[in-house]
Structure 1
Amino acid sequence: MEIRSPSGVVVGVDGSQHAATAAEWAAREAERRACSLHLVYAVETGTLTVPARSGAAVTDLLLRNAQELLDRSLAEVAVAHPRLRPTGDVVPKDPAAAVVTAAEHAELAVVGTRGHGGFASLLLGSVSLRVCAHAGCPVVVVRGGTGDGHQVLVSVREERDAEAVRFAAREAELAGLPLRVLHTWSPVVADVAHAAPMMDELGEESDLHRQLLRRTVDPVRAEYPGLDLEAEDFAGPTAATLVDASADAALVVMPRHAPAPRLGLRLSTASHAVLHHAHCPVAIVPV
């Protein structure tokens, strides 16, 4: 079956409460963006271990059940958001691959924290992590609250993260919220007891980080002149700072850098920590 690649917002659903919450968030986002909404329901039929004679019948039953659940989700979205005309597909494919493929030309992909296949003890399911790591567009994981906070947060590590700042600026503008840009860094001089002889060097290092933040943020500030934008840099752990700040946020935005050759991670350690522990939805933006 060919998977459609719509250009608006794509959301993965599976009949779970986590997916329903993600679909509601995605519907509101599609309304804000004035774009289409497409639901993807994936069914892994290739992993069935049944006799060949009954395999086709079981596959057909799984697909029919999936279509019924998808139709129910589409109806719920249509009732709650009458201005939208949501579409959907049942896809006989691995869920993460199905969402990544469907979102190939999308503005945004949305997933829940975990679906029916996840363990209750897990903070984030493998499907959500894989979509975040491999999607070609920004991905929002709807976790914690529904994002009724008072600001949008975005993390900046280096100048190429300007693309994540632009995404966050648009989200803040659409939501009518201020944007807070955070650049955290670890000083070379970590031992305060021995730092006195190197305070000049520490001051110079701090100046370099302020300059980096200014170069990254100023072009975006010029693109969004009416946006309330605050940029801060300070020495401290990125993940802990963002998780703490997320308690008052509607959305946390993290950049995703291209992996290093061979064993490079697709998602940074900080991104993993924020995805697992943030108090609000988290967006992962490829830069």
Structure 2
Amino acid sequence: MDIRSPAGVVVGVDGSPHATVAADWAAQEAERRGCGLHLVYAVNTGTVTLSPRSGAAVTDLILKNAQAVLDEAIDLVGAAHPTLRPTGDVVPRDAAAAVLAAAEHAELAVVGTRGHGGFAALLLGSVSLRVCAHASCPVVVVRVPPERGDCVLVAIREERDAEALRFGAGQALRAGLPLRALHTWSPVVTDIARGAPLLDESGEEAKLHEQLLSRTVDPVRAEFPELAIEAEDHSGPTAATLVEASKGAALLVVARHRPAPHLGLRLGTAVHAVLHHAHCPVAVIPL
């Protein structure tokens, strides 16, 4: 089966409450962007060990039930967001592969984190992790029922993260929220004997990080003069700082710095941590 690849927002659904929350978030985002919304239901028809005729009948039943779940999801989204005309596909293949294929030319992919189908397996979900690791477009993981939040929070590690900051700026403008850029860093100079950071009496290291943040944020400020942008840096553990800061955010934006290989997930420990523990939806931006 060919999967349609719309240039809008793509969301994976599986009939679970978590997927329903993700679909509603995706619908709101499609409305703000003025683009289409496409729902993907991936279903594993399995390896049929019955006779060919019985096996075909079982497969047809599985696909028919999946279509009913998808139709219900489309109807729910359409009723809650009457300005949208959502579309959808039932795809008999691996869930992550189905979403990745559908999102190949999309502006944004959205996934949930739990359910009893393709998006279930772990605390976050192996499907969500795979989509975040391999997608060519930004991916938003809606891990909890999102609240309004008072800002869009963007994690800044290096100057290349300006692309993630631009994504966050667009999100903030569409949502009518300010943007907060947060740079975290750990002291490089340590007491080798004790393995502890040394006090940087001259503050040179702190100044370097302050300058890095300015070089990253200032061009984005110039591109979005109508947007309120707050920039701050903190010395401390990245993951813990971001998770704590996410409590007041509507969205946390993080960069995926390296292309993920076909084998294994290379999202980095900080990204893994915020995907599992953030208090708001998380957007992962491929650089």
Mark yes or no: TM-score above 0.5: yes
Q: Does 1:170 align with 2:170?
A: yes
Deviations 1:62-84 (A, max 9, x none): 11111111111111111111100
Instruction: Give the AA of the match of 1:199.
Output: E
Letter in 1 for 2:50: P
- Cα 1:119–1:254, aligned 2, differ >3 Å: closer, same or farther? closer
Show the counterpart of 2:156: 156
Q: Say which structure is richer in helix.
A: 1
Which residue number corresponds to residue 48 of structure 1? Answer: 47
Q: How many angstroms does 1:265 deviate by? A: 5.2
In the aligned structure 1, how far is the partner of 2:87 from the partner of 2:261? 38
Could you say which residue in structure 2 is the equivalent of 1:257?
A: 257
Give 1:59's aligned amino acid: T
Please name the residue that 2:12 is paired with.
Answer: 12
Structure 2 gap ranges (5+)? none
Alpha-carbon distance in 2 for matches of 1:41, 1:260: 24
Q: How big is the shift at 1:183?
A: 0.6
Between Structure 1 and Structure 2, how many residues are aligned? 283
Supply the AA of the counterpart residue of 1:244: E
Unaligned segments of structure 1, at least 5 residues: none
Question: 1:199 maps to which residue?
Answer: 201
Query: How far apart, CA to CA, are the structure 2 residues paired with 1:260 and 1:128?
Result: 14
User: What amino acid is aligned across from residue 198 of structure 2 in structure 1?
Assistant: A
Give TM-score, length-normalised by structure 2: 0.93
- Report the more deviating stretch, 16-25 or 183-192: 183-192
Q: TM-score, normalised on structure 1? A: 0.93
Q: What is the alpha-carbon distance in structure 1 between the residues aligned to residue 153 and residue 78 of structure 2?
A: 30
SS of equivalent to 2:201: helix
Deviation at 1:114, TM superposition (A): 2.0
2:240 is the alignment partner of 1:237: no
What is the deviation of 1:234? 1.8
* CA deviation profile, 1:128-185 (whole Å, cap 9, x unmatched): 1111111100000011231411111010111111110000010011111111101101
Taking a change above 3 Å as real, the CA distance of residues 263 and 59 of structure 1, as seen in their structure-2 partners, is: closer
Matches within 5 A, 1:1-287: 1-45=1-45, 47-53=46-52, 54-117=54-117, 122-190=122-190, 195-196=198-199, 198-200=200-202, 203-259=203-259, 266-287=266-287
> Structure 1 residues 150, 209: closer, same or farther in 2, change over 3 A?
same
8 Å contact kept, 2:129–2:265: no
In structure 1, what is the Cα distance between the partners aligned to 2:51 and 2:233? 61
Q: Distance in 2 between matches of 1:135 and 1:172?
A: 22
Distance 1:154 1:38, change over 3 A: same
Deviation at 1:120, TM superposition (A): 7.9
Report if the CA contact (8 A) 2:112-2:142 is conserved: yes
- Measured on the aligned residues, the alpha-carbon RMSD in Å equals 2.1
Distance 1:260 1:100 in 2: 13
Q: Distance in 2 between matches of 1:250 and 1:77?
A: 21
Aligned partner letter, 1:51: L
Q: What is the rounded CA distance, in whole Å, between the counterparts of 1:89 and 1:185 in structure 2?
A: 44
**Cα distance in 1, alignment partners of residues 166 and 19 from structure 2:** 27
Q: Aligned equivalents of 1:255 and 1:162: distance in 2?
A: 9
Counterpart-to-counterpart distance in 1, 2:153 and 2:67: 37
Q: Distance in 2 between matches of 1:156 and 1:7?
A: 28
Kindly state the Cα deviation for residue 264 of structure 1 after the two structures are TM-superposed: 8.4
Quote the Cα distance in structure 2 between the aligned partners of 1:194 and 1:8.
47
- Aligned pair in 2 of structure 1 residues 180, 269: CA closer, same or farther (>3 Å)? same
Deviation by residue 1:238-266 (Cα, 9 ceiling, x = unmatched):
11011111111100001001148899852
